[in-house]
């Protein structure tokens, strides 16, 4: 499953995410307490068309840059539970319920690109 974030100001400006990154990114977004829990929950499903305003998108991008990325460092990943590891993703698919959280993570570079998209956008819609 994939997600496409389309800039509200230009259909030609978009950001793509796979479910493995997006689920962890949504936990980061949720932790920032910018967007309501209902909207974040809707954003877990693709093609819902949830809109994020320009102000909220810019707040997300700014706070990721200033609060999250300094903790992450370029060679690390953040899991959906917001824990950080320096172990590279070995593409193991964890099926045990107690380990499923290990399937979802965002790298420093991915999160930096997402923050840039948020800051350059005029808000976005999730498809």
Alpha helix (H) ranges present in the chain?
A: 19-32, 37-42, 54-63, 69-72, 108-120
For residue 98, pLDDT beyond 90: no
User: Encoding tokens for residue 124?
Assistant: 């976005």
SS3 54: helix
User: What helix, strand, coil percent values describe the chain, rounded to 5?
Assistant: 45, 20, 35
User: What pLDDT was estimated at residue 78?
Assistant: 97
For residue 28, pLDDT beyond 80: yes
pTM: 0.92
């Amino acid at each position: 499953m994939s997600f496409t974030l389309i800039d509200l100001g230009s259909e030609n400006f978009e950001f793509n995410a796979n479910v493995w990154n997006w689920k962890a990114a949504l936990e980061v977004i949720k932790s920032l307490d910018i967007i309501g829990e209902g909207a974040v929950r809707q954003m877990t499903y693709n093609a819902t068309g949830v809109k994020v305003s320009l102000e909220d998108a810019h707040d997300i991008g700014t706070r990721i840059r200033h609060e999250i990325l300094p903790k992450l460092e370029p060679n690390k990943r953040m899991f959906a539970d917001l824990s950080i590891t320096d172990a590279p993703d070995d593409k193991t698919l964890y099926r045990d319920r107690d380990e499923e959280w290990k399937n979802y993570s965002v790298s420093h570079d991915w999160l930096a690109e997402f923050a840039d998209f948020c800051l350059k956008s005029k808000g976005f819609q999730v498809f």
